[in-house]
A = this chain, B = another copy of it.
Amino acid sequence: MQTPSHRCRWASLPSPSVREAASMYGTAVAVFLVILVAALQGSAPPESPFPYRIPLDPEGALELSWNVSYSQEAVHFQLLARRLRAGLLFGMSDRGELENADLVVLWTDGDSAYFADAWSDRKGQVHLDAQQDYQLLQAQRTPEGLALLFKRPFATCDPKDYLIEDGTVHLVYGILAEPFQSLEAINTSGLQTGLQRVQLLKPDVPTPAVPSDTRTMEIRAPDVLIPDRETTYWCYITELPQDFSRHHIVMYEPVITAGNEALVHHMEVFQCAAEFDSFPHFSGRCDSKMKPDRLKYCRHVLAAWALGAKAFYYPEEAGVVFGGPGSSRFLRLEVHYHNPLHLKDRRDSSGIRLYYTATLRRFDAGIMELGLVYTPVMAVPPRESSFVLTGYCTDKCTQLALPRSGIHIFASQLHTHLAGRKVVTVLVRDGREREIVNRDNHYSPHFQEIRTLKKVVSVHPGDVLITSCTYNTQDREQATVGGLGTEDEMCVNYVHYYPRTELELCKSAVDAGFLQKYFHLVNGFNSQDVCTCPQASVPEQFASVPWNSFNRDVLQALYGFAPISMHCNKSSAVRFQGQWNLQPLPEIISTLEEPTPQCPAIQCPSPAGPTVVSIAGSKS
């Protein structure tokens, strides 16, 4: 069997550069690669359409739709290219770079058009993959542009391929403006490129039913003029009606102003603190000097949406308390506008539509904070590519604070500041790692969604929850300490669960006395001046450590050995009763095995190289 190999005909010469290129090859080259339906090989696309869609570039010229088949362990992609020039690159990479990326390439040599599974090396040079794992299923001309339908298994066992796993995926693209004689002639460094973060492997959970008496409320930006700067966080204060009684929020969904799909990056609705009777109204940039100081008390997350996410549903048994006594009427909407092209005169009324019911569900849903206490005793040395800090929620705390029947975690939002690269929370029972609560191996602080878990995780009294964050400080000269500042770091997993308990915070930090032993030891070993005087603050002490491999390794050893101080708190200020200092680190006697990726069975015949894409000359 051979793959079909039709020659192409090109039409319509739009731009001088492309025209020149075309004449080089003596053939007419099209801006629009007008491709007729060409079912090339392999299985037909599945029945279902593509439930997920995201613009890749700021102009929305490239749009990706996809679905996920957990039974096939594969993703079907439909890539719509609205104004295609001579081809494109699309793929994935660790953190959105175009180097070391796993790519599909659609290109033309000025004569034929080709589709291939490829990869780029650390210099951006594109190479053909030995194994062709992206399978082109259809190339179709549509009124909107060229639609490419292709499929890829989660894991391919080709060492040059990206492993599609849970959490954030950094999609990358590149625009080919001219023909290339061969795939190997392409280097990503000279192209117009970009990245888009997305949760590719959306959970495949049934949508809970919504009660018939459900009502909606839209918390939307008040016709904001989007600033013509790359990054804007817009803050808007609104309020519930007077005497708004107790309800349950059962779902919410984004409301995006038409045309702004590529500009609205993420949105969050926060509830203000109940301790204040009123909050000033405000609509403006969150970093504005005019922003009332009191708005910093509007930090309790009620709803969060990020690019690529769809509606968020609470489990059928639970809802979030909304209104009624003991909760503030004031809400803060925060919208992150991402406008790298500095578009002007764009107005926006995007926001979140809350669905709530007066028929209270059986359980209130709650949010619990796992990870590290915001304290400088947890620090990352400078110039580290992947330094791990770990926070514990100990058996002693869960024993005391959780109901006997346990709690059920159904969603999770991971949080670090700018140095965060990975976050994971593992459930440990009887010293054995049992399951992953949530993991993101490609975490980005610029993409913090509330994610519904694929599987509800039940936590019993006596269980341990261990949250580890991996940081990159290669661009820093000083240690990065834990804290609230943007330049400080955090390691947090906000878990959404039911039934709500009093436990709001279950976090840890290394014992401060043992950290002083470390400074003392570093001082003695290195015969250099590390300030261990009691009047120096911990950040000052860290700033005076002469960083070398020994001091770094010993800090790491300390964090892996020294006892911890626990925050097992009802609210950020009120602890459960008990002795929480000098607690031993939870002992782990067995760890979860990394699942070996299932290599897909080899499909024969499998193309050894690029596929020729059949193209006809008509223009849309």
Interface, chain A (partner B; CB < 8 A):
130-131, 157-160, 517, 520-521, 524-525, 548-550, 553-554, 556-558, 560-562, 596-602, 604-606, 608
When chains A and B are docked, how far (Å) is the Cα of A553 from the Cα of B550?
10
When chains A and B are docked, how far (Å) is the Cα of A596 from the Cα of B509?
39
Specify which of B524, B596, B598, B604 is in contact with A521 (CB 8 Å cutoff): B524
Q: Tell me which residues across on chain B come within 8 A of A599, comparing CB atoms.
A: 130-131, 157-159
When chains A and B are docked, how far (Å) is the Cα of A560 from the Cα of B18?
56
Specify which of B158, B550, B604 is in contact with A557 (CB 8 Å cutoff): B550
- Taking a contact as CB atoms under 8 Å apart, the answer to whether A608 and B601 are in contact is yes
Number of copies: 2
Chain A to chain B: the 7 pairs with minimum beta-carbon distance, closest first: A553-B557, A550-B561, A604-B604, A159-B596, A549-B561, A550-B557, A157-B157
10 cross-chain CB contacts under 8 A: A130-B600, A131-B157, A517-B525, A521-B524, A521-B525, A550-B560, A553-B554, A602-B604, A602-B606, A604-B606
- Taking a contact as CB atoms under 8 Å apart, the answer to whether B549 and A560 are in contact is yes
When chains A and B are docked, how far (Å) is the Cα of A600 from the Cα of B159?
12
- Taking a contact as CB atoms under 8 Å apart, the answer to whether B597 and A159 are in contact is yes
Q: Tell me which residues across on chain B come within 8 A of A520, comparing CB atoms.
A: 524
When chains A and B are docked, how far (Å) is the Cα of A520 from the Cα of B601?
58
Q: Tell me which residues across on chain B come within 8 A of A548, comparing CB atoms.
A: 561
Q: Tell me which residues across on chain B come within 8 A of A600, comparing CB atoms.
A: 130
A384 to chain B, nearest CB (A): 15
Q: Tell me which residues across on chain B come within 8 A of A606, comparing CB atoms.
A: 602, 604
Q: Tell me which residues across on chain B come within 8 A of A517, comparing CB atoms.
A: 524-525
When chains A and B are docked, how far (Å) is the Cα of A157 from the Cα of B561?
37
When chains A and B are docked, how far (Å) is the Cα of A159 from the Cα of B597?
8
Specify which of B550, B553, B561, B602 is in contact with A602 (CB 8 Å cutoff): B602
A72 to chain B, nearest CB (A): 14
Q: Tell me which residues across on chain B come within 8 A of A561, comparing CB atoms.
A: 548-550, 553
Q: Tell me which residues across on chain B come within 8 A of A553, comparing CB atoms.
A: 553-554, 556-557, 560-561
A155: nearest chain-B partner, CB-CB: B159
Q: Tell me which residues across on chain B come within 8 A of A601, comparing CB atoms.
A: 130-131, 608
A381 to chain B, nearest CB (A): 12
Specify which of B158, B596, B608 is in contact with A160 (CB 8 Å cutoff): B596
Q: Tell me which residues across on chain B come within 8 A of A596, comparing CB atoms.
A: 159-160
User: Which of A520, A554, A598, A605 has the most C-beta atoms of chain B within 10 angstroms of its own C-beta?
Assistant: A554
User: Which of A158, A159, A596 has the most C-beta atoms of chain B within 10 angstroms of its own C-beta?
Assistant: A159
User: Which of A520, A549, A561 has the most C-beta atoms of chain B within 10 angstroms of its own C-beta?
Assistant: A561
Identify 6 new A-B residue pairs, CB closer than 8 A, beyond the known A157-B159, A517-B525, A553-B557. A157-B157, A157-B599, A159-B596, A521-B521, A553-B561, A604-B604
When chains A and B are docked, how far (Å) is the Cα of A367 from the Cα of B200?
58
